[in-house]
Amino acid sequence: MTSKAIQKEVDRQIEVMRDGAVDLFGEDDLRKRLAQALAEKRPLRVKLGMDPSSPDLHLGHTVVLQKLKRLQQLGHTPIFLVGDFTARIGDPSGKKKTRPALSKDEVEKNAATYVEQVGRILDVESIEVRFNSEWMEAMSTTDMVRLCSHYTVARLLERDDFSKRYKAGEPISVHEFLYPFVQAYDSVALETDIEIGGTDQTFNLLMAREIQRDYGQPPQAVITHPLLVGTDGSDKMSKSLGNLIGITESPEEMYGKTMSITDTLMLDWFDILSCREWSDLDDDRAKLSCDAGDPFAFKKMLAARIVTRFHGSDAADRAILHFQNVIRDKGVPDEVFEIEVASGSGLLDILRQLGFAASTSEARRLVSQQAVSIDGQKVGDPGLRPASGSYLIRVGRRRFGRVRVG
């Protein structure tokens, strides 16, 4: 490539990197590094790390995964880092109190499905999948002390979450201070050129730039993306808050949950989840700002596009019909999963067998929240043992099952 062609390609790739992002830190150095890589016909190393604090990825995770995919399409090497070591520390970002520590077994169980789920978005055959336990479990105490010597407690307390907790007299555990060091060292171990993350990770990602310099490496560029607000319309999408849409959820559940969000949130989702992938986004926004705009129609469009992305257009069509027949018109699906249980079986166990709850405690929570009905009647007794017979069980607005007792 000529120098002019290289500069043109650098401009194009920087535009892709900036698309949908909040900030691109280190752009000047990135332009030089990218130009050199293009001249040498080699890819840059692009890292995205996620802690397996829960077993399922959700729409919030896909915001940064989509950016990693786009950089993969530009020819760069995507590195998906599973933070199996950092998950045992617990990311303190944005937290008002210390997160409960996860055991190694819990983390490994959660991480087991991550690569398969990432494969729904990325071409996993050409990505580098790494686990930060590879280098952190091998790190000596001497090396850990050396790593921690590169930063001061005063600098750590500049973090908004740590600062607020410190000023409020809330405890901050020493191990929480270690988290940003470990995350930063990941970039050293992987010799990262670019790192992608949410805006809540900005402090950690910028700290990695400083740590890389201290270890004699050129600092990575940092691309931050906005956080996706969950279905409750107030907090970021999170498993712990229950305001998520998992990417492995059924098309019907995914469509129905999207239809439940507010009109204001819908516009944010269009922006954050699209990244110009939907070329008519600007037209959609213009129409919605006019009196002629139909928010319900645009919400259906958004829901259908989300389902299509993860399940295909046929599944989206089925989800639309299900929503119309079951949710809007209060009907019951033609096909309902059915089980048989022994006489005397408890409701909580029935909910588990139907797949409506992963544990007894989750089933109990559903009942206590008045989310369970039997033959149209709300159930509030978690100790209920239905008499012999056939029952239609409904959980929430979208999940149905039949049970034959006895």
C-alpha neighbours within 13 Å on the C-beta side of residue 15 = 7
Query: 């926004």: which residue's tokens?
Result: 285
Encoded tokens for 369: 């929240």
- Shortest CA distance to 351 belongs to which of 319, 376, 389, 383? 383
| Domain edges within the chain | 3-225, 251-328, 337-405
Which of 33-47, 123-137, 152-166, 230-244 tops mean pLDDT?
33-47
- Shortest CA distance to 373 belongs to which of 392, 398, 350? 392
Cα 72 from Cα 122, distance rounded (Å): 8
Q: Render pLDDT for 304-321 as a digit per residue (tens, 0 to 9).
A: 999 999 999 999 999 998
More confident residue, 190 or 109: 190
Quick one: pLDDT at residue 279?
A: 45
Which CATH architecture describes the domain 3-225?
3-Layer(aba) Sandwich (3.40)
Helix (H, G, I), strand (E, B) or coil at 38: helix
**CATH top class, domain 337-405:** alpha beta
Cα 240 from Cα 53, distance rounded (Å): 10
Q: Residue 251 CA to chain centroid, in angstroms?
A: 18
Cα 339 from Cα 390, distance rounded (Å): 10
Quick one: pLDDT at residue 168?
A: 83
Edge-first strand order for the sheet with 372-374 is: 337-341, 399-405, 389-395, 372-374, 377-378
Average pLDDT over the chain, rounded to whole?
Answer: 87
- Kindly tell me if the per-residue pLDDT of 42 is higher than 90: yes
Cα torsion 186, 189, 195, 200 to 10°: value is 10
Quick one: pLDDT at residue 254?
A: 94
Q: Render pLDDT for 62-108 as a digit per residue (tens, 0 to 9).
A: 999 999 999 999 999 999 999 999 888 876 655 555 556 678 888 88
Cα 40 from Cα 8, distance rounded (Å): 16
Helix (H, G, I), strand (E, B) or coil at 192: coil
Entry pTM: 0.77
Helix (H, G, I), strand (E, B) or coil at 196: strand
